[in-house]
Structure 1
Amino acid sequence: MGNRASRCVLASAAALLLSVGLAGPAAATAGEDPPIDDTPINTAPPAEPEEDVTDVPDGGNGLPDEPTFTPPPPKDWPNADYCGPSHGVYVPSTKGSQYHKGVGPVLSTYNGTSQVATSTFTSEVSGEVGVSVSSGLTVSVNTMVAKIEGKYDVNLSMKLTAKLGIAVNVKTPPKKTTNGKYGVFRLKNTGVSYTVYSNCKTSAHKTITSYSPVKVGWYLWED
């Protein structure tokens, strides 16, 4: 598994097609989406999460969802505070930026000519990207993602697949290098999670950072 891109300025029969002053359509694998010509060009590689986060396995994190109701106090505790069985709570607080998690190596092409050149990157890797979360979450990851979607009116996924054979056209200025990485954009979010005990007391509130898949695509940058 791997990605391929020609590093020369002449057109080749490989995944990278390069021409000077021409922005024609790129050749994509049959059956896949057409090339994306309007992908923004960034000035730096994709940023990595600064927090200590862990990828959530396919089976989730094993924690229950938040309860949808609170049962009445038991009859033998008529004067005691009662909040139902102990359960976890998650409250999203801050919507962050989208971070790109790549699948496969970086593709690069250098334009050694004196004119703008157009090249095509084609992914040759397929991989899945899911949710990553810091420690301390007291509810299921499904609950956390649903809470984030509801608060910010966004559509998130538990997992997205970056497919192979997806092409993108890029323009490279003279004497510059264009780099591309295919993968999944994930939304960063910060929230608070804690446990509510049956006597209505709570555990310490823990700040939770998460990254949830939003869409599949290329991240491009120039240097």
Structure 2
Amino acid sequence: MPQSSACEPHWKYTPTSKDKDYHKGVGADQANYNNTSRTARSSFTSEVSGTVGVAHTGELKVGSKIAVVEIEGKFSVSVSVSLTAKIGNTISVDTPPRKSTLARYGVYRLKSYGYSQYTYQNCTKGVKKNVTIYTPRRVGWYLWEE
């Protein structure tokens, strides 16, 4: 009678779906109010630097690097464990009459969903632990008007 092979006990993260990118600001929001009857140019410059890393809710039972590799493979996207938004980045935009343009510099993070699951030595699987993960994707400005 052949003997069945045992499994190596381990945690595995499996991504299941992704959402859109969400912006995580570094430093304070900036604003410029155009109190004229014509469109005016507004310029914003990042005044602080900061590093934004992976964030999650739920039970992520593997390291961030492993989760990043799984997310990249599943969704064919490029994400990182962390990205740094640096001082001195400038953007210029048009501000309509009697409006404020607001700007926030930071890191866009991809929101994705998945689960962590344990595999036991006898190859059975444990309960799925749902996880929502935000993985850094790119550095940039988030702009809006009021």
Percent identical among aligned pairs is 47
Gaps of 5+ in 2: none
Contact 2:32 2:102 in 1 (8 A): yes
**Distance between the aligned counterparts of 1:160 and 1:189, measured in 2?**
17
* Pairing 1:147–2:67 present: no
Alignment of 1:5-24 (within 5 A): none
Contact 1:118 1:172 in 2 (8 A): yes
Residue among 54, 64, 71 paired with 1:131: 54
Report the residue type matching 2:48 in the other structure.
V
**Distance between the aligned counterparts of 1:106 and 1:171, measured in 2?**
17
The residue that corresponds to 2:141 in the other structure is 218
Q: CA deviation at 1:80?
A: 7.0
Q: CA deviation at 1:81?
A: 5.5
Gaps of 5+ in 1: 1-77
Contact 1:82 1:198 in 2 (8 A): no
Contact 2:54 2:133 in 1 (8 A): yes
Q: Secondary structure of 1:134's partner?
A: strand
Contact 2:42 2:101 in 1 (8 A): no
The residue that corresponds to 2:33 in the other structure is 110
Residue among 98, 102, 114 paired with 1:179: 102
In 2 relative to 1, CA 86–128 (structure 1 residues): closer, same or farther, beyond 3 Å?
same
Q: Secondary structure of 2:14's partner?
A: strand
TM-score by length of 2: 0.94
TM-score by length of 1: 0.63
Aligned residues: 146
Contact 1:80 1:199 in 2 (8 A): no
Structure ranking higher on relative contact order (CA contacts 8 Å, 6+ apart)? 2
Give the CA RMSD over aligned residues. Answer: 1.5
Contact 1:185 1:215 in 2 (8 A): yes
In 2 relative to 1, CA 80–132 (structure 1 residues): closer, same or farther, beyond 3 Å?
farther
Structure number with bigger Rg: 1
**Distance between the aligned counterparts of 1:97 and 1:196, measured in 2?**
31
